[in-house]
Amino acid sequence: MELIQKIESREAHLAVIGLGYVGLPLAIAYAKAGFRVTGIEKSADKVAALEQGKCYVIDVPAADVRSMQAAGRFQATTDPAVLASADSVNICVPTPLSKTRDPDISFIQDAVSVIESHLHRPMLVILESTTYPGTTEEVILPRLSAGGLRVGEDFFLAFSPERVDPGNPRYHTTNIPKVVGGVTPACTRIAGALYGQVMESVVPVSSVRVAETVKLLENTFRSVNIGLVNEIALVCKSLDIDVWEVIEGAATKPFGFMPFYPGPGLGGHCIPIDPFYLSWKAKLAGAEARFIELAGQINSSMPKHVVQLVSEALNGRARAVRGSRILVIGVAYKAGIDDIRESPALDIIELLAQRGAEVSWYDPHVAALPAALAAARLDVWSRDELAGFDAAVIVTAHRSVDHTLLLDAGPVVVDTRNALKGHAAANVTRL
């Protein structure tokens, strides 16, 4: 087949729509494998940064961007007209939830609109954005077929869930197994052939619906288990039991147990959002996703619990939250990265401010927070600076931060990540 021959010879021109945490690493991986790649991005600022050899994604070295540009294998643009010459296009755009927790696939719809205008035979279209089962066949396929081109013959359509874990030094785009499901067997075969040029392992599945649900199961698994351990943490607190020691003991079992850890709430684009794509689709089919809904309720309640712990810790010093200087430490949603999407720290800051606290924040990876949040950035991490606060909350435990400075600096400390494990101090409250 002509398209497979172009892919295997690296003559295919590849396009990626959306140059964020998923799309840019994929585009650079394609380019490093020898393909000519064009990244299509709506943000002119991001395109300008890439053209200057700068990179805003933590997992992509700026040197890789510059070298692929110099080799003529990668360019970024805001103009989707380049799709007219592309042999393949990956859709890597955000899929948030609406205010009513319904799936918002408007970014996918926008991407499909530009592909429609430039669809040609033979062309491969792959959706990587996380979505509900049925999106590829029910939303994308009818639009791409409307002009008379036949799927599996004139063009090829598949779904392959992104599995990006920002900041993970061990697993990256090319060594994470790549699940692929096509609308037809030919679609699966051609999409698998493309990924096979770049990925160490390709896992074909029987349909796009299976591939779509794989991603949702992965993140629902994490959400439900984090919800469970958060509930255990609340139970252990009421029983005056150290939940961290309980988990450590349970983790010694060599089978039948996988340790998850409590925390201040869920963050990032995937785990707080993806399970609700599945529960929404289940409701449409007349099924109940009770575990998903319950886990969501528990996890979303954790910021309020953290604020309550801060209040109790301050009460122990005869102080109220109102009027106290409180430092939130770590505002990225996970350690080692600069991404604040859905970070529980933002909710904690807002809740503390609503109670009248004077809130500041510190994070060596994050330059700024949304202007709507009433919080000041602490620029210097030192014992003297920390001594000026009444309370401190460790929300994200970056490894580069010496949290032990809090032990004798003065403020009461609420440690939601067990960052001060092994340090017994009267001023520390652990989740």
Residues 6+ apart with CB under 8 A from 215: 130, 161, 162, 163, 179, 274
Q: How far apart are CA 86 and CA 126, in angstroms?
A: 13
Cβ 359 vs Cβ 349: under 8 Å? yes
Other beta carbons within 10 angstroms of residue 425's beta carbon come to 14
Q: How far apart are CA 412 and CA 324, in angstroms?
A: 11
| Residue in 333, 215, 225 with CA at minimum distance from that of residue 277 | 215
| Residue in 266, 273, 249 with CA at minimum distance from that of residue 95 | 273
Cβ 58 vs Cβ 338: under 8 Å? yes
For 396, which DSSP code?
Answer: S
| Residues identified as active-site | 270
Residues 6+ apart with CB under 8 A from 317: 390, 412
Q: How far apart are CA 352 and CA 330, in angstroms?
A: 15
Residues 6+ apart with CB under 8 A from 235: none
Residue 158 token pair: 């598949």
Q: How far is CA 360 from CA 39, 344, 375, 383, 410, in A?
A: 38, 15, 5, 15, 16
Cβ 147 vs Cβ 179: under 8 Å? no
Query: How many angstroms separate the first and last alpha carbons of the chain?
Result: 58
Instruction: Look at strands 13-17 and 358-362 and give their pairing.
Output: unpaired
Which amino acid would we find at residue 111? A
E-strand stretches of 80-232: 88-91, 123-127, 155-159, 178-182, 202-204
Coil/strand/helix, residue 97: strand
